[in-house]
Amino acid sequence: MTESLPKVLLVNGVTMLLAYARAIEIEAAERYLELAEQMDVHNSPELANLFRKMAAAEQMHLSKVDNLVGTLKLPEILPWQYKWDTPEALETTAYDAIHYQMTPRCALQLALANEERAVAFFNEVVAQSSDSEARRIASELAAEEYLHVEIVRSWLDRFHESDFKEDLDNPVSQ
Ligand code: ZN
């Protein structure tokens, strides 16, 4: 399920970048709200609160991106290229459990992996785009998503309980 990101090669210009950025922010906001509901169920109000804040942060990014989009017409993109991924390490234990028994640590690991994926995506654009404006926007987005990585990581440190038999300290091995 965890794809390396060859498709990033296709993201060169500003409109393609913005199309992905919008999709990534919308997806992240939706998934965070979903995780927040799971944490309500799990009776973890602190974490539910964190995820609602993260959803709000992603929505703020979205309006920022929408301002950049303005009247530009965005190209079509493919869902599998921006939908949240379940890291392989979490897949067997957690993927089917998303709607049933997502534990706090598992939820945080899922969020972390996908925030890291977003950072990697935007960094690839910075590294590979020939369009300087696209590179500039992508590097800003990468920096913002990296803040999310740090937030989620710091919360993960608070949830030490081992939900899984395997060591999942490094769920993303891209
Ligand atoms: Zn984010």
What pLDDT does 171 receive? Answer: 47
What pLDDT does 51 receive? Answer: 96
CA of 33 to the centre of ligand 1 (A): 13
Q: List per-residue pLDDT tens for the chain, 174 residues long.
A: 444 554 445 688 999 999 999 999 999 999 999 999 989 988 889 999 999 999 999 999 999 999 999 999 998 887 766 778 776 655 444 444 454 567 888 889 889 999 999 999 999 999 999 999 999 999 999 999 999 999 999 999 887 654 443 344 444 443
Q: Where are the alpha helices (DSSP H) in 42-87?
A: 45-69
What pLDDT does 173 receive? Answer: 42
CA of 149 to the centre of ligand 1 (A): 7
CA of 144 to the centre of ligand 1 (A): 7
Q: Please give the model's pTM, rounded to 2 decimal places.
A: 0.79
CA of 72 to the centre of ligand 1 (A): 24
- The whole-angstrom separation of Cα 112 and Cα 106 is 10
CA of 55 to the centre of ligand 1 (A): 8
- The whole-angstrom separation of Cα 156 and Cα 78 is 31
CA of 71 to the centre of ligand 1 (A): 25
- The whole-angstrom separation of Cα 55 and Cα 30 is 7
What pLDDT does 108 receive? Answer: 92
CA of 151 to the centre of ligand 1 (A): 10
CA of 148 to the centre of ligand 1 (A): 5
